[in-house]
Chain A
């Protein structure tokens, strides 16, 4: 069951994207990872546009890994819109970003983030963090029931 569920990675930096994918792979997490390269694309995929639903099947989505500094629509805005929409208000969202500034932490949790992870500079640590994340959100965590 776990291997069928997908992960949405919202990340504008291709290096970070490659490193995240590599870190997940090193942890033998082979689930499909869909990548959105800005906030608008992420919202499109999740909520769709003009009344059409997004391309992602929400019931198959295990977790969203959300960067905060994003082009077009920033991460906090994406988070707020997801929480405002009944389809995604319970969707697990993990903020995965460079900063550990207090105001980012406060805003992220206030906006309804389920978790906040700072990307470590050292790749070894990043791999470890990615392993924890995959194990937890794909295996340990019980997903919310789908609301329609």
Chain B
């Protein structure tokens, strides 16, 4: 059930107050009016009883001597009571003997025959009280008297009572309303302020808002707690914002630094690419020219020096190219595609076989290693790893190179294993460093950039690299590819 205006605290309080007061007044009014009415009727009945007794006694002789005239005179004495509408005297055979009727409007009120029994009778459509009484002579009834009295006094009293109560109720309600409005400032006022503040906080995210009106009661405690909560939130928010701003600023600074670093790196490698190679070309070129033009005039030592110069410049050129490749790998954009490492490994083995005929190398390539990654960069990874395996098994009569898939703590790892020169695990941390070599140049030539390149590419794919091995027992280089290396092959296919 929905009361109009009951959707607000103010309305509810008002409604409750009005309803409770009205109910109290109504109960009081009904009880008092009811009691009043009963008392009034009792009084009326008592008076009528006395009157009928008096009339009965006075008309005794008239009945005995059959003198209706004198009886009517006696009855007419009741004219003094304005409430008596009519009086009837009935003889022993219950017939009307004498009457008194106040006015024309009251004619016909009296029944022609005496009513049965005696006592008050409220019944009747005309709101009259009827009271009849037997007239006794020597213990025997010789007739009866019926007085019909007006109830207008009772009605008037009740009407007056109801009027008074209605007036009092109205007045009380008005006073209650006034008191209520004043009380609301102390009860609903703080609640309304609280509600308004809560709305402001939730809608405008204004945590600086505070609810007003903290008294000593429960609402006051609520308002205080709410305000304290807001205080806390505001403080935390300010801290959060400061931290956020600081972080943002730091990110911006770092980004700027990083951008500068990347630009410098690009400028550096561009410069290396253009400017560092030119003098090398001169040294190499003119050393060659010197050897060609004046080789005859040089002795063996001179020729050897010149050869060393040329070899060094060539190596320097390779180092520069390696360095540039490494930095290119770092800067290159990763283009994610589906890459079949197995078939790539097979191709690379075939290329190496064609490049160096006559070597007996057993190559085992696990099939179905399909990953997600940059095709060109992943090819570079396998080229470096398989190329290394090819290089370091050079001194083996029965060289064996294997590309496979392994599970490493739930991760799919790919590996290239060989039975070549291997390495000392003591130096395994140096293995992936740029320009780090574990073998002499004359033993296994190289510039020491291969595994560094592999590691960078793998890192850029979100993976990691590691190696196991032992001197003269071969090496296994593992790599993972982060999310890209979800799949691994099972079947091995041997390539003789």
A residues near B (Cβ < 8 Å) are 13, 15-16, 19, 22, 68-69, 97-103, 119-124, 126
Contact = CB atoms under 8 A, between A and B. Distances in A.
Contacts of B274: 68-69, 97-99
A126 B281 contact: yes
Contact of B278 (A15, A22, A101, A122): A15
Contacts of B282: 13, 15-16, 19
Interface in B285-325: 285-286, 288-289, 313-314, 316-317, 324
B273 A19 contact: no
Nearest to A15: B282
Contacts of B270: 99, 101, 103
Given A15-B278, A16-B282, A101 B314 contact: no
Contact of A102 (B281, B288, B289, B328): B328
B273 A123 contact: no
B273 A122 contact: no
Given A15-B282, A120-B317, A123-B284, 5 more contacts: A19-B281, A98-B278, A121-B317, A123-B289, A126-B285
A119 to B, nearest CB: 6
The listed residue with most B CB atoms (<10 A of its CB), out of A99, A122, A123, is A123
Interface in B229-288: 269-270, 273-275, 277-282, 284-286, 288
A100 B269 CA distance: 11
A13 B289 CA distance: 17
Contacts of B328: 102
A75 to B, nearest CB: 11
Interface residues of B, number: 22
Contact of A99 (B273, B285, B286, B313): B273
A19 B286 CA distance: 8
A62 B324 CA distance: 34
Contacts of A102: 328
A101 B273 contact: yes
Contacts of A119: 277, 281
B334 to A, nearest CB: 15
B493 to A, nearest CB: 36
A124 B288 contact: yes
A101 B320 CA distance: 13
A-B CB proximity, top 6 nearest: A121-B317, A15-B282, A99-B273, A123-B285, A123-B288, A19-B285
Interface in B107-159: none
A10 B324 CA distance: 26
Contacts of B317: 120-122
A123 B291 CA distance: 12
A119 B281 CA distance: 8
Nearest to A121: B317
